[in-house]
Homo-oligomer: A and B are copies of this chain.
Amino acid sequence: MIISLELDSETPLYEQLRNQIVIGIAMGTLAEQERLPSVRQLAEDLGINTMTVNKTYALLKQEGYIVIDRRHGAKVAPRAAVGQEPTEQLTHQLQLIIAQAAIQGVDQSRFQTLCGQIFAKMAYQT
């Protein structure tokens, strides 16, 4: 899996890394139960500090996206059951995005189409 970090971005490195791994899981680039690189390996590959990667892994673990076994390292968590209700946090994030879209002049049908296109790229549920 290819990861590219922007060192001059306002988004913290550990958060950029977290986001790209989440998208990787959803798109199937990282398969279920697949093992992630070790914190040392990934830190070396990306040219960043070990503790920054560790912070990302701790965050992903706390959010339930990965599972950490001291024996085998970090793995992608088993799939959740389908048909779940959206989290309140997710609903709030979506509300903010839709508010911005509406103000910027993106109408609902265009927005829904975009959602469909993005969902089509997510191999997680198929």
A interface residues, Cβ below 8 angstroms from B: 19, 22-23, 25-27, 65, 79-87, 90-91, 93-108, 110-112, 114-116, 118-119, 122, 124-125
- Select which of B25, B81, B82, B94 is within 8 A of A114 by beta carbon: B94
- Select which of B86, B98, B108, B124 is within 8 A of A103 by beta carbon: B124
Provide the bound-state CA to CA distance between A90 and B114, in Å.
11
**How would you classify the secondary structure of chain A's contact residues: helix, strand, loop or mixed?**
helix
9 new A-B contacts, CB < 8 A, other than A94-B118, A112-B115, are A23-B99, A80-B103, A80-B105, A85-B106, A86-B104, A90-B100, A105-B125, A108-B116, A112-B112
Provide the bound-state CA to CA distance between A90 and B100, in Å.
8
The answer to whether A26 and B115 touch across the interface, beta carbons within 8 angstroms, is no
The answer to whether A83 and B107 touch across the interface, beta carbons within 8 angstroms, is yes
Provide the bound-state CA to CA distance between A115 and B22, in Å.
21
The answer to whether B99 and A22 touch across the interface, beta carbons within 8 angstroms, is yes
Closest beta carbon of chain B to A74's beta carbon, Å: 15
Q: Check A84/B104 contact, CB under 8 A, given A93-B97, A118-B95.
A: yes
